[in-house]
Amino acid sequence: MRILSILDTLETAPFILETTSALADRLGCGSVRLLHPAPASNPDFQSPDEGMPGPQAQARFAQNVTAQTTALHTLCQNWMATSGHARISHWATGQEDNIRALVATEAASADLVVLSRPRATDPASVSQAFSGALYDAKAAVVVAPLQSYPTMGSHPIVAWKASDMLDRALEHAMPLLEKAATVTILIGERQAGEEATPTLAQTLRQKGVAVTIQRFVITSRTEVGEQIRAQALSAGGDLLVMGAYSQPHFLEWLFGGPTRDILRHGTLPILTHH
């Protein structure tokens, strides 16, 4: 089991490392790669009409990149010393103009990629890294929440919608589901009772896992992402497993928009696949 953790910013890195640690403990991980992708050139000067950065702007940019890289490296060293994962963990940096391609290349050889949900205030490189892992590398992605969780994977929630994307997410989630204390399968329906109980329920029960089926009526197509989030939280889950459905902005659809302050709304770690 190989985990790639993408450390974009100092604000989200502690939650990414916490999620990484929980996954490594639960899955018996053999390798953790801690990657900090940094832009090689100043993103404020990316188009011809923005001009060329002067010496002072170039110097400030280089100092900021170095300062963030150093701070993240220190954070990772402290995490390795206290998490018990020093032997299997490796720090790496990559400075490229094409962050999306860099992360896609790295993610292609990982079993799970842990990263943060892009926030409205984040630099563009964060969204580029997310897209590189989920859409270009087609990796199994675990989106870390922006708050601490006492457990992860003890009570997974499967947001059921039969699709190739969910099948791929379940393939990577199965080691977690089989070790869970209980699994809730969340089924959204246009009319109550119209969806059959998935065979996944019987498969897990045969392995000794307690399974609960939780159904809800979809009240609005545009709000179904919010309904999934709310239902998963009400079930007491600590991991949401779902396919990255064909929404233009999948996580905005799930969380209700890029401008919403996600810290004011409870979230779960999300394991997803496109």
The mean pLDDT of 212-226, rounded to a whole number, is 86
pLDDT at 224: 80
- State pLDDT tens for residues 163-209: 999 999 999 999 999 999 999 999 999 888 899 999 999 999 999 99
- State pLDDT tens for residues 24-60: 999 999 999 999 999 888 877 655 555 566 788 888 9
Residue 194 token pair: 């119209």
How far, in Å, CA of 268 to CA of 248, rounded?
A: 21
Share of the chain above pLDDT 90, in %: 67
- State pLDDT tens for residues 101-126: 999 999 999 999 999 988 878 888 99
Domain annotation for the chain: domains and CATH numbers: 2-144 (3.40.50.620), 156-273 (3.40.50.620)
Taking CA atoms, 253 is separated from 178, 194, 258, 262, in Å, by: 29, 24, 9, 13
Pairing of strands 141-144, 270-273: antiparallel
Residue 103 main-chain phi, psi, to 5 deg: -70, -40
The mean pLDDT of 15-27, rounded to a whole number, is 97
Q: Quick check: 227 and 219 in contact, CB under 8 A?
A: yes
Q: Order across the sheet with 182-189: list the strands.
A: 89-96, 31-39, 2-6, 112-116, 141-144, 270-273, 239-243, 156-160, 182-189, 210-217
pLDDT at 258: 35
Q: What is the 3-class SS of the chain, one letter each residue?
A: CEEEEECCCCCCHHHHHHHHHHHHHHHCCCEEEEEEEEECCCHHHCCHHHCCCCHHHHHHHHHHHHHHHHHHHHHHHHHHHHHCCHHHEEEEEEEECCHHHHHHHHHCCCCEEEEECCCCCCCHHHHHHHHHHHHHCCCCEEEECCCCCCCCCCCEEEEECCCHHHHHHHHHHHHHHHHCCEEEEEEEECCCCCCCCCHHHHHHHHCCCEEEEEEEECCCHHHHHHHHHHHHHHCCCCEEEEECCCCCCHHHHHHCCCCCCHHHCCCCCEEEEC
Q: Which long-range contacts (CB under 8 A, 24 or more apart) does 189-197 make?
A: 189/215, 189/216, 189/217, 189/218, 190/217, 190/218, 191/217, 192/217, 195/160
